[in-house]
Chain A
Amino acid sequence: MSDLVSYVILGLSRGLIIGLLALGLVLIYKGTRILNLAQPFFGLLGAFLCWWLTVEARFLPFTAGSRPRFAVAAVLALVLVGLNGWSLERTLFRKLRRAPRLVTLVASIAIAQGTLGIVTLLFNRNADQAEQVRIIPTVLRTNFVIGDLGVTGGDVQAFLLVPLIAAAAAIFFRVTRFGVAVRAAAENGESARLLGISVDRVAVFTWVVGSVLAGIAGILLSAQQGVLTATTLSVGFLVRALAAALIGGLTSLPGALAGGLIVGVAEAVIGGYFPSTIGLPETVFFAAVIIVLVFRPHGLFGTPEATEDKVAFVPSIRDLPAKLRESEFVPVLRRGSLLTVVVFAVAVSLASGSATNGILVNVVVYSMVAVSLTVLMGYTGVISLGHWALVGVGAFATANLYTKHHVPFALTVPLVVLIGVWLSVLLGLPALRIRGLYLAIITLAFGYAAELYLFKSDSLAEGQTGISIVPPKLGPVNLDDPSNRPLFMVGIVMLLSSIWVARNLARSGTGRSFFALRENEKAAATLGVGLTQAKLVAFGISGGIAALAGVLHSLNIGNVNSVEYPAFTSIILVSMVMIGGLGSLTGPILGAFLVFGLPFLVKFDNQWIVPLGTGALLLVVIVEAPGGVAGLLRAVQRRVLGRLVDIAEREERPDPEVPPPGAQPDLVT
């Protein structure tokens, strides 16, 4: 028996589960045009519920851990996951039916974070729970060996169950009236409505079934892998499922399954033949997804999407009334508040110790990333789900140039920024052909490939150990000062200069062309905006700022290591910018403080509170206050300015009821 056959069998059994996950993703996408990034986390929730009901729950019949108990538990867990999908559709996604795609994507990010937070809170709160070995029993206990490959009951389950589900889905969508209606509504909601198909019912159906499919995938996967941990289903499976869905065509249900098999087999074969190169399969997915999207945007089996919805979204923050806008207090207030914030930050830094200063430096790093994301997402409307990887590139470039190659620090910084610009432009090249959500998936795949391949490669990152970096002395400023204070001051300077760049960019002709293409690419092109040039410039500047943030981050963490740059952080960055208020520069910086500063400063940084809190906050912003923190700031600014202008006007013109002082002597006489 050749190696190839055993790799293929292994890959198929994994690929079936990836395909199942992708099937749910595509189903929800077809039914509602929402790309549900929470899909693998629904699977995680299902698997954990199933495990708990099988092993821990006291109220269920049959002995804990037995097969009949598992059967009951699996059904119950799937019902719960389905209910979860149902309630999410009814409470949240129904409200977002007509929202731009970026908003629904971010909403699904919020749900992903919230679900992860709930799973962590319920099952992974403390060290005891984290170390617990969780085993979901397999229904089939057959174990046999093909060649030198052990096939477990978990594998056989996948081989039996997934094709069965696929066949049932095929029959449902081809034969039944409701199945046809779902497909019709997916393709053209308005036409379907004219025929009396309820779009609401279709949306509920796809969310429930999509969630249940994710739950089944989660249970099957943990049975196959033997143990269940909080990382069993995470960004890795999200990237695989998205790759499968894109390769198969984001709108094709059979394509999703076929894509899953392709991804599974490719991973097993590549991993089998090149076991020493870590992250190679992930890098190949990244390349494959780009190639498929550039040459066949609708995937191998899908059909081109007829409707091009609006993807970009910038909340409209109400402008100041004309009277206030002209007031000379506007620049005074702006400069005053900036100065106050900077002075306050410096004061806090001087008054506190090295730990707090370390956190503050991190806030500055994330604030710079927020500025970088604002340039790309806020100004041009291009979604990036891989920005943390650009920061990682900056950090690794710093470590390599400064520590390994002894390049002077003053030269390292501009070089790193140039590398960031260059790589980001390179990443932007597919953006010239690929748009919207598809591009977002590419950036996510980039982040994942960078985490697993680039940041673990021997040449760039010294393998898994990472590179230590000793912050330099810049004249009188010792960045290696144990108090972290000088580092924070330098960080503030870096942040202010990136804000200055972004601000001036927004006011320049280039910036205006960004806004034009964000609102409507075709209209912008007819006005003579060079789309190619504008997009690449946006990517370049954004990448440069991100790399600069990477310089600061590398100095702060001391040891530049792949662990610091997980792909999931990039997704949280988007939440951060959204909470701050997309499109504004000051808002997202406060978003950075709220998400990455506050919980750590008040020592309330449990593993679950941060994702759960961020997710909840994000949902509040999406549904109730799309302007985010920036919107609230604008309201404050409006009131303060209004008061100031009132006072000024009262002082300028004398009160008409009091007679002028010169007139009084006349009255006396």
Chain B
Amino acid sequence: MIVLDGLCRSFGGRPVVRNVSFSVGPGEVVGCLGPNGAGKTTTMRLLLGLLRPSGGSACLGGPAGYLPEVFAAYDGLSVRAYLRFVARMKRLPAATVERALDAAQVREIADRPVGRLSKGQRQRVGLAQAVLGEPPVLVLDEPTIGLDPAQVVEARALVRASADAGAAVLVSTHLLAEAAAMCDRVVVLVGGAVVAEERPGDAADLEARFLRLVATAELT
């Protein structure tokens, strides 16, 4: 599970994340929504320990798999070699690689160098390294970006399956339809603060609520 408690961070005196608290339980998929610059990526980096918070704390219930916003791999390695390397660094058994290849559906491109892949294929490799070893915590920054519609459905299924296997999943996205289809709960960030935490409902409804939330939050 993931617990954020009063997390704060400012860059050069400018607060970017303000007192963010929420939690993601095991088996739950929580969406992190918000306009550009709302602090979604910063929140994720804070809770993974890639940035030091100015205040508050974050707690992860185990090792985390992370798909960064810009996923940079070692372009010279093949997909399989890259995943083996990740497994080595995370001290996971080599057998997890084969499971991840299937889970993220990258088996057919397993022997191609990462540098030669298309954007969508690359993104799936990123997903594969995140779900490697079935970690109890998954943090995915825009996981479906660059995927074609069929792949989006598959990625969604992968996220759902991970949660059903007991993982706590935090997903950030701009696509409200995406959030409506995938998440059990959404947390809306505006200007670095949580302005709403609720069930996504259906996509059209979510969109209306989201726009209203952002408009009111920006007014105040």
Chain A residues at the B interface, C-beta cutoff of 8 Å: 177, 180-181, 184, 187-188, 190-197, 303, 306
B74 touches A195 (CB 8 A): no
5 A/B residue pairs, CB under 8 Å, sorted by A: A181-B89, A184-B89, A187-B74, A191-B74, A194-B50
The verdict on A180 contacting B88 (CB below 8 Å), with A194-B50, A194-B66, A194-B68 known, is: yes
User: Which residue on chain A has the smallest CB distance to residue B68?
Assistant: A194
Residues of B within 8 A of A303 (CB): 76
Using an 8 Å CB-CB cutoff, how does the interface string of B35-52 with A read, 1 for contact, 0 for none? 000000000000000100
A195 touches B72 (CB 8 A): no
A184 touches B85 (CB 8 A): yes
The docked-state distance in angstroms from the alpha carbon of A17 to that of B142 is: 51
User: Which residue on chain B has the smallest CB distance to residue A197?
Assistant: B89
User: Which residue on chain B has the smallest CB distance to residue A177?
Assistant: B88
The docked-state distance in angstroms from the alpha carbon of A184 to that of B73 is: 10
Q: How far is the CB of B96 from chain A (nearest CB, A)?
A: 14
A195 touches B90 (CB 8 A): yes
How many inter-chain contacts with C-beta < 8 Å in the A-B complex?
A: 31
Q: Is the interface of A mostly helix, strand, loop or mixed?
A: helix
The verdict on A191 contacting B90 (CB below 8 Å), with A180-B85, A184-B85 known, is: no
The docked-state distance in angstroms from the alpha carbon of A464 to that of B202 is: 88
B89 touches A195 (CB 8 A): yes
A191 touches B88 (CB 8 A): no
Residues of B within 8 A of A187 (CB): 74
The verdict on A306 contacting B90 (CB below 8 Å), with A194-B50, A194-B68 known, is: no
Residues of A within 8 A of B74 (CB): 184, 187-188, 191
B89 touches A306 (CB 8 A): no
> Interface extent on B, as a size class?
10 to 19
Residues of A within 8 A of B85 (CB): 180, 184
B76 touches A195 (CB 8 A): no
The verdict on A306 contacting B75 (CB below 8 Å), with A193-B50, A194-B66, A194-B68 known, is: yes
Chain B residues at the A interface, C-beta cutoff of 8 Å: 50, 66, 68, 72-76, 85-86, 88-91
Partner of B72, one of A177, A180, A188: A188
Residues of B within 8 A of A194 (CB): 50, 66, 68
User: Which residue on chain A has the smallest CB distance to residue B63?
Assistant: A196
The docked-state distance in angstroms from the alpha carbon of A188 to that of B75 is: 10
Q: How far is the CB of A301 from chain B (nearest CB, A)?
A: 13
The docked-state distance in angstroms from the alpha carbon of A177 to that of B73 is: 18
Residues of B within 8 A of A197 (CB): 89
The verdict on A177 contacting B89 (CB below 8 Å), with A194-B50, A194-B66 known, is: yes
The docked-state distance in angstroms from the alpha carbon of A180 to that of B81 is: 12
Q: How far is the CB of A30 from chain B (nearest CB, A)?
A: 13
User: Which residue on chain A has the smallest CB distance to residue B45?
Assistant: A194
Residues of B within 8 A of A306 (CB): 75
User: Which residue on chain A has the smallest CB distance to residue B67?
Assistant: A194
Task: Beyond A177-B91, A191-B74, list 18 extra A-B contacts (CB 8 Å).
Answer: A177-B88, A180-B88, A180-B89, A184-B74, A184-B85, A188-B73, A188-B74, A190-B72, A191-B72, A191-B73, A193-B50, A194-B50, A194-B68, A195-B89, A195-B90, A196-B90, A303-B76, A306-B75
The docked-state distance in angstroms from the alpha carbon of A195 to that of B76 is: 18
Residues of A within 8 A of B75 (CB): 306
Residue of B68, B75, B89, B90 with highest tally of chain A CB at under 10 A: B89
Residues of A within 8 A of B88 (CB): 177, 180
| Complex A-B, nearest 3 residue pairs according to Cβ-Cβ distance, in ascending order | A195-B89, A191-B72, A188-B72
Residues of A within 8 A of B50 (CB): 193-194
Q: How far is the CB of B100 from chain A (nearest CB, A)?
A: 14
The docked-state distance in angstroms from the alpha carbon of A187 to that of B72 is: 11
User: Which residue on chain B has the smallest CB distance to residue A191?
Assistant: B72
Q: How far is the CB of B63 from chain A (nearest CB, A)?
A: 9
Q: How far is the CB of B122 from chain A (nearest CB, A)?
A: 13
The docked-state distance in angstroms from the alpha carbon of A306 to that of B72 is: 11
Residues of A within 8 A of B68 (CB): 194
Residues of A within 8 A of B73 (CB): 188, 191
User: Which residue on chain A has the smallest CB distance to residue B86?
Assistant: A195
Q: How far is the CB of B191 from chain A (nearest CB, A)?
A: 27
The docked-state distance in angstroms from the alpha carbon of A192 to that of B82 is: 12
Q: How far is the CB of B66 from chain A (nearest CB, A)?
A: 6
Q: How far is the CB of A213 from chain B (nearest CB, A)?
A: 25
Residues of A within 8 A of B90 (CB): 195-196
B89 touches A196 (CB 8 A): yes
Q: How far is the CB of A550 from chain B (nearest CB, A)?
A: 47
Q: How far is the CB of B81 from chain A (nearest CB, A)?
A: 11
Q: How far is the CB of A485 from chain B (nearest CB, A)?
A: 55
User: Which residue on chain B has the smallest CB distance to residue A187?
Assistant: B74
Q: How far is the CB of B57 from chain A (nearest CB, A)?
A: 19
User: Which residue on chain B has the smallest CB distance to residue A181?
Assistant: B89
Residues of A within 8 A of B91 (CB): 177
The docked-state distance in angstroms from the alpha carbon of A531 to that of B86 is: 41
The docked-state distance in angstroms from the alpha carbon of A193 to that of B76 is: 18
The docked-state distance in angstroms from the alpha carbon of A188 to that of B72 is: 8
The docked-state distance in angstroms from the alpha carbon of A196 to that of B76 is: 21
Q: How far is the CB of A54 from chain B (nearest CB, A)?
A: 43
User: Which residue on chain B has the smallest CB distance to residue A192?
Assistant: B89
User: Which residue on chain A has the smallest CB distance to residue B71?
Assistant: A191
User: Which residue on chain A has the smallest CB distance to residue B49?
Assistant: A196
Q: How far is the CB of A306 from chain B (nearest CB, A)?
A: 6
